[in-house]
Amino acid sequence: MTRTRSSESDEDSSPTTTGGGGGRGRTEMRVIVPLQGVVQGRGGLVLGSVIPCALFYLLQLYFKRHRSEPTPPPQTLTEVSELNRSLSRTHLSPRGSSAPACVSTRANSIVKSSDSPFYVGLKRVSEDPYDELSNPEGVIQLGLAENKLSLDLARDWLAETAKDSILSGGGSSGPLSMAGIANYQASDGLVELKVAVAGFMSQVMERSISFNPSQIVLTAGATPAIEILSFCLADTGNAFLVPTPYYPSFDRDLKWRTGVEIIPVPCRSADNFNLSISALDLAFDQGKKRGLKVRGIVISNPSNPVGNLLNRETIYTLVDFAREKNIHIISNEIFAGSTHGSEEFVSMAEIIDSEDLDRDRVHIVYGLSKDLCLPGFKVGVIYSSNENVLAAAKKLSRFSSISAPTQCLVISMLSDIRFIQKFIQTNRERLQRMYTKFVAGLKQLGIECMRSSGGFYCWADMRGLIRSYSEKGELELWNKLLNIAKINVTPGSSCHCIEPGWFHCCFTTLTEQDISVVMERIRKNNITFFLGFGCYSDTIKSSSHVPLQLFCFSPSYFFSLVP
C-alpha cells in the first residue's frame, strides 16, 4: 500500500509540473485541482477532478497486475489477475497459439526451492561416489543417514528366504497365494505386517512397552508418515515448534504440501544441545505474537543430527508443556534401535501406553529404514492413539501405501525372531565400534564430537577450523571438504543450527578401512585450510588439486554451489 501511495503522489505531481502554465493558474484558480493548468476554463474543474481519479484507478490496476506476478503468496490477487489476463488473451487470439500453461504456485515454489547444501552434497556424491577399488578418488558419503554395516545379515536372510516369503504371502509356511500379493490390499498395511512391526518395535525399544497393532498406520517410508501427521495435526498457516539442529528434510516433509510453518527452537552447545522448556516457551510466545497458531512440537529422539537421547524427565516436562499449551507432540523415533551408548532410550510410547488424557496428543513416527537397514523397502509407521488422527491417517495412506510383495517379505523377516534378535545385537555392536573408531579418528585431528549415544552419525565441532565464525565460514569449510577433500558432510546450517561450525557426519556407510581414508583426507584438508595463513608450500607439493582450490576460493564458484 505504501508503494502505491508514494507513486501516486509522483503521478500527481508530474502532470502539474509538466503542465507548463500551472504557475499562473495557481494564483487565480486556486491551485488545488490538478491539471487545472492544462484544461482551462469552466470545464477544467470537471476534468481536473475526474482525470486524477481515473489515473489513480489505472495506477491501482497497474500495480495489482504487476505485483501479482512476481510474488505468489496472496492467492486471491493472483487469481484475479490471472483471470483478467487469460480473458483478454482469448479475445485477442481465440484460436492462435496462446501462452504456455502455467503450473501452480506451489509447484513453482517446489521447483525453485533452492537446494540446501544437504541436497547439493548428496547430489555430488551420487554423481561421483567413492569406491575403494573402482573409484578411489570419488566423494565419500558422510551425509546420508544410511546403515550399511549390517547389510550382509539382511542379504543372507533374503537370499535364503525371499522367494518363499513372497510366495507364501508372508506366512512361514502355506500354499502359494498370488491373491495375497497381486490384489488390492488395505492401503494402511496388512494386519499381519502391523502385528509384526509392533513386535519389532517393542523388541527394539527393549522395554516392556507393547505396541497395539490397531494403532499403527503403515506408509511408504517415514517421510510420508511425517507429512501425513503434519496434514492431520495442523492446517495451512499453523506452525510446529522444532528444536534445532533438526533433520534438514523436515523443511520438505512438514511444510511443502501442507502449508505448515516451522518455528525453530534453538538449542545450544552450552547445554549439550539439550532441549530446554524455556526456549520452547519463548518460541511459542513469539509464534503467538506473530499471529501463528502453534499446533505441536516435533522432536527426534534419538536426536538427528546430534545423537543424544531425551531422558525420562525431559519427556515428562515436554508432555506437561504440551498439555499446558494444548498442543500435540510428534516424536520421531526412527533411530530408536540404533543406540550405541549405555544410556537408556525412553520412548514416548510410555505416554501413549498410559491411561492419561495426554495419550491423545502424542504421536510416534517410526520406520524400518534405519533400525532394519532397509531404506529401499520404504516402510514407515505412524503410531497414535488419537482416534481422529488414526482414522484420517488410514484414509490418507491411500497416497503412500507399501507394495504387497515388500510387505510379505518384511512380515516373514520380522517374524523370524531369532534372526531379528541376532540382527539387532550385531548391528548395535558394529555401530558402537564404528562410532568409537570414527570419533577417535576425529579426535586425533583435534576435532571433538558431541557425546552421543544414538544414531548413525556424530555431531562434530569444527568451530576451530572455520575461517570466519559465521555461516559463511562454515559453508566455506563444507565446500572445501566436498570439493577438495571429497567428503560430503552436512553443515550445521542445513540443520538450522544456530551456532556455526558444527557438522553432521554419518559413518555407517563406511567400512572400517574407509575411516582412515576419511581421516587422511580431512588431515590434508586441514593443511589446505592454513593455506590462507602461509603454509602454501606443503600443499603445492602434496596435492594436485591446487587449481581446483583456487577455483573454489573464487566467490562466484562458491555462490553457484551455495545459494
Partner 1 sequence: MRLIVPLQGVVQGRGGLILGSIIPGALYYFFQLYLKRCRSAKPNSNPPSPSSSSAQLADLSRSSSRSNLSSRGSVGPVRVSARANSIAKPNASPYYIGLEMASEDPYDRFDNPDGIMQLGLSENRLSLDLIETWILENLERSMIGGADGHLNISGIATYQPLDGMMEMKIAVAGFMSQVMGTTVSFDPSRLVLTSGATPAIETLCFCLADQGNAFLVPTPYYPGFDRDMKWRTGVELIPVHCRSSDNFALSVTALDQAFNQARKRGQKVRGILISNPSNPIGNMLNKETLYSLLDFAREKNIHIISDEIFAGSTYGSEEFVSMAEILESEDFDKNRVHIIYGLSKDLSLPGFRVGVIYSFNTSVLAAAKKLARFSSVSAPTQRILISMLSDTRFIQRYIETTRERIKKMYVAFAAGLKQLGIECTKSSAGLYCWADMSGLIRPYNEKGELELWDKLLKIGKINITPGSACHCIEPGWFRCCFTMLAEEDIPVVIKRIQRVVET
CA atoms within 13 A of residue 156's CA, in its CB half-sphere: 7
231 Cβ neighbours under 8 A, 6+ residues apart: 257, 258, 392, 396
60 makes contact with partner 1 (CB under 8 A): yes
Question: Which one among 167, 218, 330, 481 touches partner 1, defined by CB under 8 A?
Answer: 167
| Positions in 348-367 near partner 1 (CB under 8 A) | 357, 360-361
396 makes contact with partner 1 (CB under 8 A): yes
Identify which range of 18-26, 48-56, 272-280, 302-310 contacts partner 1 by CB under 8 A.
48-56
332 Cβ neighbours under 8 A, 6+ residues apart: 222, 226, 247, 298, 299, 300, 301, 304, 364, 365
CB of 172 to partner 1, least distance (A): 17
Place of cell 518460541: 283
Closest CA to 105 of 65, 66, 81, 71: 71
Of 377 and 459, which CB lies nearer to partner 1 in the complex structure?
Answer: 377
Of 148 and 524, which CB lies nearer to partner 1 in the complex structure?
Answer: 148
> What order of strands is seen across the sheet that includes strand 457-461?
448-449, 457-461, 502-506, 490-491
416 makes contact with partner 1 (CB under 8 A): no
Question: Which one among 20, 41, 53, 541 touches partner 1, defined by CB under 8 A?
Answer: 53
CB of 446 to partner 1, least distance (A): 32
CB of 131 to partner 1, least distance (A): 12
395 makes contact with partner 1 (CB under 8 A): yes
46 makes contact with partner 1 (CB under 8 A): yes
- On the 0-12 / 13-18 / 19+ scale of CB atoms within 10 A, 374 is buried
Of 78 and 274, which CB lies nearer to partner 1 in the complex structure?
Answer: 78
Question: Which one among 14, 75, 214, 554 touches partner 1, defined by CB under 8 A?
Answer: 75
Asked if residues 346 and 310 have their Cβ atoms less than 8 Å apart, the reply is: yes
Cα–Cα distance measured from residue 257 to residue 241, given in angstroms and rounded to the nearest whole number: 18
513 makes contact with partner 1 (CB under 8 A): no
Asked if residues 420 and 200 have their Cβ atoms less than 8 Å apart, the reply is: yes
Closest CA to 333 of 352, 318, 347, 316: 347
109 to 148: interface string for partner 1, x by CB under 8 A: -xx--------------------------------x-x-x
Asked if residues 415 and 422 have their Cβ atoms less than 8 Å apart, the reply is: no
| Positions in 424-463 near partner 1 (CB under 8 A) | none
Question: Which one among 124, 295, 340, 504 touches partner 1, defined by CB under 8 A?
Answer: 295
Cα–Cα distance measured from residue 262 to residue 251, given in angstroms and rounded to the nearest whole number: 8
| Positions in 456-495 near partner 1 (CB under 8 A) | none
Count other C-beta atoms under 10 Å from residue 83's C-beta. 10
501-489-110-297 Cα dihedral, nearest 10 degrees: -60
| Positions in 205-224 near partner 1 (CB under 8 A) | 220-221, 223-224
Of 256 and 316, which CB lies nearer to partner 1 in the complex structure?
Answer: 256
CB of 477 to partner 1, least distance (A): 26
Of 125 and 346, which CB lies nearer to partner 1 in the complex structure?
Answer: 125
Closest CA to 303 of 268, 334, 330, 282: 334
227 makes contact with partner 1 (CB under 8 A): yes
58 makes contact with partner 1 (CB under 8 A): no
- Looking at the DSSP bridge assignments, the partners of residue 339 are 454
CB of 137 to partner 1, least distance (A): 21
Question: Which one among 10, 69, 82, 356 touches partner 1, defined by CB under 8 A?
Answer: 82
Place of cell 506408509: 219
Closest CA to 154 of 387, 414, 336, 364: 414
Question: Which one among 114, 134, 184, 556 touches partner 1, defined by CB under 8 A?
Answer: 184
Cα–Cα distance measured from residue 331 to residue 385, given in angstroms and rounded to the nearest whole number: 13
Total binding residues toward partner 1, as defined by CB under 8 A: 113
Cα–Cα distance measured from residue 339 to residue 35, given in angstroms and rounded to the nearest whole number: 79
Of 52 and 473, which CB lies nearer to partner 1 in the complex structure?
Answer: 52
Closest CA to 330 of 371, 292, 301, 289: 301
CB of 289 to partner 1, least distance (A): 12
Question: Which one among 9, 20, 27, 99 touches partner 1, defined by CB under 8 A?
Answer: 99
Identify which range of 25-33, 195-203, 343-351, 432-440 contacts partner 1 by CB under 8 A.
25-33
Question: Which one among 24, 66, 163, 290 touches partner 1, defined by CB under 8 A?
Answer: 163
Of 404 and 465, which CB lies nearer to partner 1 in the complex structure?
Answer: 404
CB of 184 to partner 1, least distance (A): 5
Question: Which one among 162, 445, 498, 546 touches partner 1, defined by CB under 8 A?
Answer: 162
Question: Which one among 20, 41, 70, 94 touches partner 1, defined by CB under 8 A?
Answer: 94
Per the document, the length of the chain is 563
- On the 0-12 / 13-18 / 19+ scale of CB atoms within 10 A, 177 is middle
Question: Which one among 124, 340, 378, 545 touches partner 1, defined by CB under 8 A?
Answer: 378
Question: Which one among 174, 237, 446, 532 touches partner 1, defined by CB under 8 A?
Answer: 237
Cα 187 to Cα 47, 218, 253, 306, 390, distances in angstroms: 69, 8, 20, 34, 13
Question: Which one among 11, 40, 171, 256 touches partner 1, defined by CB under 8 A?
Answer: 256
CB of 310 to partner 1, least distance (A): 20
285 makes contact with partner 1 (CB under 8 A): no
ω before 305 within 30° of 0 (cis)? Answer: yes
Asked if residues 33 and 47 have their Cβ atoms less than 8 Å apart, the reply is: no
DSSP code per residue over 169-213? TTSSS----HHHHHS---TT--HHHHHHHHHHHHHHHTSS----G
178 makes contact with partner 1 (CB under 8 A): yes
